[in-house]
Structure 1
Amino acid sequence: MRKLPLLASTTLMALAAAGCTTTMPEGDMATMPGEVAYNPEIPAATSIFGQPSPLPFQAPQFDRVSDNQWQGIIEEAIAINMAEIEAIANNPNPPTFANTIVALEDAGRVYARATAPFDQLVSANTNDVLNAADAALAPQRAALSSAMYLNPRLFQRVKAVYDNRAAMSMTPESAMLLETMYADFVHEGAQLTPAAQTELRQINERLSALQAEISTDITDGAAAGALIVDSREELAGLSDAQIAAAAAAATERGQRGKYLLSLSNTTSQPLLGQLQNRSVRERLYNASIARNQSGANNTLPNIAEIIRLRTRIAELFGAPDYATWQMYDRYAQNPETAINFMTQMVPALRATQDREAGVLQARARQEDPNLTLQAWDWPYYAEMVRRERYALDNEELKQYFVVDNVLEDGVFYMANQLYGLTFEKRSDIPVYDDSITVYTVKDADGSDLALFYFDPFARDNKSGGAWMNNYVEQSRALGLRPVISNTLNIAQPAEGQPALATWDDVTTMFHEFGHALHGMFADQEYTSLSGTNTARDWVEFPSQFHEPFAARPEVMQRYARHWQTGEVIPDRLVQAIDRSSRFDQGYSFGEVIAASLLDMEWHALSPSEVPTDVMAFEGQALSRLGLRTDLVQPRYKTPYFRHIWNHGYQAGYYSYTWTEMLAHDAYEYVVANGGMNRQMGDRIRRTFLGQGHSKTYDQMYRDFTGHAPRVEPLLEARGLVAADDNSQEDIGATGAE
């Protein structure tokens, strides 16, 4: 999952979210007894975002804005937010929690209403006009961030309130808001010298432009890198439906009579497990790893500049490297904790890779005695061994996973049994693509809880991967209920065929809905502490925690039904999924750990270590990992590693594995204490899923499980240690704040 960044700083929620606690109309400053009246002029918005949307839940009015209007709308919203910030900074009254901290929370309502749908369009349904607007707006949005964090008058007000915190009577949530806001100001440069702040402003604006450009190049590079295949015979191993979809895709590109194999966002391509033609496998794999290294979509020069600028930021702050500076608000707290967490698993993971490579090499030579296993062969022979050893055929499995059934009879059923939620499909909410469905989410007491959008299918103009985002974030003070979207990249069905999901797609649907629940159950006073507005190495915990529910028998039997016969998935396939769950971990876990450590390699550089050759550095970095990167490349290679170049996961991709540790450990608590029932759901919601960042991460985790996080359940689930092996040391919490 990723939260779409509203500003250059991923921690800036006070501006990027609808404001919180206030009773005054926008543009006014409330006065307390003894204070002077202060009514600064704030420009009025002329766009439809000037006022809350009249749609249910204040849902975005996608049908009221044309592509060429977005840039002007957001530029106006930026100007309004700039004026709001200046008004708070120039308040003649002494700084208080209300007129400074809460006022900052209240700022940026118009900006948030406009940027939330715009950012989703740029990621999920973009075009040249939107891309140009995004590029033009990026430095302006970075300047807005700087206008808040690098405003000395504003910081002095925040600091005055912070320094007086011991004498103030605050709720725990208010205290958390003050702590996090002050930490964010310091992190963003409020205490730097004026000269350093000027340089930081320039760096932030340049970074935002580079990041927007890279994101566009990665999307376009994947589309341009699609493989054209001349004959149907070369696609042996694919189903008729897949071949028909490839033919249709080629026709859309003006290649009638040929076949187009689209690239997914990851290094490994799903079709590598099916294609029998080794030459086509090699071509598809090479098309994947070669993208974004040359031509119009070459990201390497921009990446080199980003690394130089990020290391310069670390230097400005006196930090040894960018990762140290970036991880100030994480559960893990510092790079050493994250790196040690991952590297302790490398020896067992490398042994697993060597063992599995030997098995696959032996299987390959049964067909060709002279074949030497290559990276493009691993998925194919792994799939062959999976079928033979575990009787698991992924194509056969897909026939039981109709996308709508998985959502409504699986994901929604799980949410009903655990949390009492119900869902009502509606047709009166405008969407940006006809494939999107919208639901009203009802809480257990029958009240309206949230609005939920589901955008399931891959498109050429859509970023790869899957994510959750908020169109409206929850606020008790403002009476705002969450408006949330899940976006995925499930393969489009051929015309007349059902939309079928892979098992990976199924678990991704449960994963992303875990994020959605995190947002839906938000119950905070302040939006910047609400729902998923948490650290990178916490936000993926609720999502991964919900993945195992996809395989619970009582859930699977409801949604896993053959699309033609309606037959419930047979026990032999369910058992095969379970038996094979620890198979091929050398690949699936190896590509994630390699990407996580590659991320850290890039962001642990000192200024004197910044390389001039991006791909040469990547090669050297991968060779240091101690993993079989000759056969198992990182899940994302440097040129198309969007997570760390544009989505806020720099020095943070480890979070997926860190939170997987939390999720496996927490799910063990569920299994040991009654399983999937309303009592358990209430405990989940009460202890962490509905808490946002109103408490420390360690407190929330311990409130649910009663102990510090343990790594053993992760290692056991991944098959890296035997289930009864207690030799690994516990991973204790180092403190969340």
Structure 2
Amino acid sequence: MTDANPLLEPSSLPYGLPDYRRITADDYLPAFRTAFAAHRDEVARIAADPSEASFANTFVALEQSGRLLGDIARTFYTVSSADATEAIQAVEEELAPLMAAHQDAIQLDPALYARVRHVYDRREDLDLSPEDRYLVERRYREMTHAGAALGEDAKDGLTQLNQRLSSLTTTFEKNLLADTNDLAVVFDDAAQLDGLTEGELSAAGRAAGDRGLEGKYVVTLTLFTGHPYLSSLTDRESRRRIMAASRVRGSRGNANDNREVLREIVRLRADRARILGYDSHAAYVTADETAGSPEAVRELLFRLARPAARNARRERDALQRIIDASGDPFPLAAHDWAFYTERVREAEYDLDRAALRPWFDAERVLQDGVFRASTDLYGITFTERPDIPAYHPEARVFEVHDADGTPIGLYILDLYTRDTKRGGAWMNSIVVQSRLRGTAAVVVNNLNVPQPSPGQPTLLTLDEVTTLFHEFGHALHGLFATVTYPSFGGTNVFRDFVEFPSQVNEMWIYWPEILSAYARHVDSDEPLPADVVERLHASETFNQGFSTSEYLAASWIDQAWHRLGADAAAEDLDVAEFEAGALAEIGLDDPAVPTRYSSTYFAHVFSGGYSAGYYSYIWSEVLDADTVEWFRENGGLTRANGARFRQRLLGVGGSKDPLEAYRDFRGRDADIAPLLRRRGLTA
């Protein structure tokens, strides 16, 4: 190690937060190479230990190993998603196959696997705590699932596949970011953006100025198919242009075209599944999730799709009636849905959601909404630390303390969109809590809210308020997990369980004492009127046919690609035709209700961690809706309820089977009925 590379030195900042001011893009690859070598040496010593394999000299030793690599990786992947400059992208492209090869070298090591299996086979006879035992079972399961029991030739093929896949997923994300930036829609005249608020117009003007287009307006694209502005823009051509730009991302035949990239990803994932003994990638993935099989996922999606499509048809007919009565009728198109939905909402509920933005000042939502709900429920407090630098000047750092003043960790919020940030919203950890290592959590929330001009307040849409509460639920999971082993820290749980805590946290958005605290007019400080709140509640199932259908459509596209066996995946499939066939199969092929993500810009699946797992949101929502009912039945926002939820679910991290943890909290398995009622899917 050398003092010349700050990544190879302990951080001097609180909680081990990396000092990004000292780190350059050129530091990462040399640091990774050093960390790879150090980790391989550590694992080699464990594997070659002449003494009999034990929990201490194998499992605890493995948990202690690789600390430098983990620290560097979390440091890097934070910026590669939130501030991916060209230099960072170049590092990620070179790093991807190196990281895949290194992970395989550890997971597929035969001597290490033999020691792990030896302890696993004797686990009944060992004096292990519940967390120790679960660590043994999970490590053995993960190594076996990765292919550690295969022969050497199969392992070699698997390693080559994994390296190629890591490169392809990196390429997919790079192409998507570039095409999303290229396709941002430029408007010459503010009249073309009639319907936007002053703050939204200011954000569009700022985006144009940042691109050297003074006097013009730029609408940047969101990760999903639609766009928040579609509900407000009165100019139908402007709506059409935004929707059209969104839907062609990654499929224009240019250097950023993702079609062949995703086809190869699908082929290689299917090949890997075959090598590992599974019929498809979906079978491989779900085998190690709470779902257990793609058939269980299919059953849930198809159960929900029929009533969702039925409700969407009813909603579409109501929108068409408004258009037909306008004096200038035309067939409803996808880019019209959001705009006319708001007109129906106004007519049926006397509710204009766009007009609510002055009540959702971002700072107030954060302090008096998100933070206050957590303080009331769990007793934790937040202190902003402007003296602690984050990875980007716009990212804000908060220190989190427990009710008794005990420090918990750091929370970082990066609210605004920028060209170097990938789309969507997410949470990630920079430091993971572990008693073994003596570390506390450092977690990050990223959103993509358009930034207004200086001096203008940031006014959120109700959807953006929901996103902030949702992502903070992930942050709480990361902050509260109190485990011994780093493998169980934070949100390291099954993929189809990870969305559960974040979805539960959304319930506090409308909780009376929380809503009255944060939803106050930015100018007058008047609370959101009680009658508006009542109408918001009354409209909770409104447009759920559309929103459920677009989500289920994306989930089924993901499943359809990844249910292909190796032979079928090897065919030269046309992406658009394949999608159309998948949507027809599940009955969600309504042109006016496009899928939330099409394949060429489906980052969750082709460059994120949700391959064959996008169903996780609705799967977790079964638990979420059932949990919301429990809170309501037991007094709601109380410290006693918060303590139970924190101790029995959030606090266990990944150290316990998640469904066992849920039963411990709820006293039974989850009931699907609350979800059906929430989404208006009852008969």
TM-score above 0.5: yes
Could you give the per-residue CA deviations for residues 132-178 of structure 1, whole angstroms, max 9, x where no partner exists? 00000000000111111111111111111111212211000000000
Q: List structure 1 segments (4+ residues) > 4 angstroms apart after TM superposition.
A: 43-46
Task: Give 3-state SS (helix, strand or coil) of 2:649's partner.
Answer: helix
Partner of 2:181 in structure 1? 223
Q: Distance in 1 between matches of 2:33 and 2:261?
A: 25
Q: Does 1:713 align with 2:671?
A: no
Partner of 1:314 in structure 2? 273
Question: CA contact under 8 A between 1:45 and 1:80: conserved in structure 2?
Answer: no
Partner of 2:232 in structure 1? 274
Q: Structure 1 residue 110: deviation in Å?
A: 0.7
Could you give the per-residue CA deviations for residues 416-451 of structure 1, whole angstroms, max 9, x where no partner exists? 111011111112211222222111111011111111
Q: Structure 1 residue 477: deviation in Å?
A: 2.1
Q: Distance in 1 between matches of 2:97 and 2:308?
A: 42
Q: Distance in 2 between matches of 1:552 and 1:656?
A: 22
Could you give the per-residue CA deviations for residues 36-70 of structure 1, whole angstroms, max 9, x where no partner exists? xxxxxxx7896333343221111111111012222
Task: Give 3-state SS (helix, strand or coil) of 1:581's partner.
Answer: coil
Q: Structure 1 residue 544: deviation in Å?
A: 0.3
Partner of 1:141 in structure 2? 99
Partner of 1:357 in structure 2? 316
Task: Give 3-state SS (helix, strand or coil) of 2:338's partner.
Answer: helix
Could you give the per-residue CA deviations for residues 57-89 of structure 1, whole angstroms, max 9, x where no partner exists? 111111110122222222222222222222222
Q: Distance in 1 between matches of 2:5 and 2:606?
A: 32
Q: Any gaps of 5 or more consecutive residues in structure 2? A: none
Question: CA contact under 8 A between 2:583 and 2:589: conserved in structure 1?
Answer: no
Question: CA contact under 8 A between 1:162 and 1:182: conserved in structure 2?
Answer: yes
Q: Distance in 1 between matches of 2:110 and 2:295?
A: 33
Task: Give 3-state SS (helix, strand or coil) of 1:424's partner.
Answer: strand
Partner of 2:63 in structure 1? 105
Q: Structure 1 residue 395: deviation in Å?
A: 2.4
Question: CA contact under 8 A between 1:536 and 1:652: conserved in structure 2?
Answer: yes
Question: CA contact under 8 A between 2:580 and 2:589: conserved in structure 1?
Answer: no
Q: Distance in 2 between matches of 1:168 and 1:128?
A: 52
Structure 2 residue aligned with 1:666, among 587, 608, 627? 627
Q: Does 1:499 align with 2:458?
A: yes
The residue correspondences of 1:326-405 to structure 2 (distance < 5 A) are 326-405=285-364
Task: Give 3-state SS (helix, strand or coil) of 1:348's partner.
Answer: helix
**Paired AA for residue 666 in structure 1:** T
Count of residues paired in the alignment = 680
Partner of 1:22 in structure 2? none
Q: Distance in 1 between matches of 2:202 and 2:505?
A: 34
Structure 2 residue aligned with 1:703, among 618, 643, 664? 664
Partner of 1:36 in structure 2? none
Q: Does 1:289 align with 2:250?
A: no
The residue correspondences of 1:13-92 to structure 2 (distance < 5 A) are 47-92=5-50
Q: Distance in 2 between matches of 1:45 and 1:250?
A: 42
Structure 1 residue aligned with 2:587, among 623, 626, 630? 626
Partner of 2:154 in structure 1? 196
Task: Give 3-state SS (helix, strand or coil) of 2:409's partner.
Answer: strand
Structure 1 residue aligned with 2:169, among 199, 211, 216? 211
The residue correspondences of 1:389-538 to structure 2 (distance < 5 A) are 389-538=348-497
Q: Distance in 1 between matches of 2:468 and 2:248?
A: 29
- What percentage of residue pairs aligned between the two structures are identical? 39
Structure 2 residue aligned with 1:583, among 542, 552, 557? 542
Q: Distance in 1 between matches of 2:682 and 2:609?
A: 32
Structure 1 residue aligned with 2:646, among 676, 679, 685? 685
Q: Does 1:243 align with 2:204?
A: no
**Paired AA for residue 338 in structure 2:** P
Q: Structure 1 residue 508: deviation in Å?
A: 1.2
Structure 2 residue aligned with 1:153, among 111, 136, 144? 111
**Paired AA for residue 249 in structure 1:** A
Question: CA contact under 8 A between 1:418 and 1:677: conserved in structure 2?
Answer: yes
Partner of 1:15 in structure 2? none
Q: Distance in 2 between matches of 1:493 and 1:435?
A: 13
**Paired AA for residue 616 in structure 1:** E
Partner of 1:675 in structure 2? 636
Q: Does 1:164 align with 2:164?
A: no
Q: Does 1:637 align with 2:598?
A: yes
Q: Does 1:574 align with 2:538?
A: no
Partner of 2:611 in structure 1? 650
Task: Give 3-state SS (helix, strand or coil) of 1:353's partner.
Answer: helix
Relative to the length of structure 1, the TM-score reads 0.90
Question: CA contact under 8 A between 2:356 and 2:461: conserved in structure 1?
Answer: yes
Task: Give 3-state SS (helix, strand or coil) of 2:454's partner.
Answer: coil
**Paired AA for residue 539 in structure 2:** S
Question: CA contact under 8 A between 1:531 and 1:693: conserved in structure 2?
Answer: yes
Could you give the per-residue CA deviations for residues 99-125 of structure 1, whole angstroms, max 9, x where no partner exists? 111111111111111111210101001
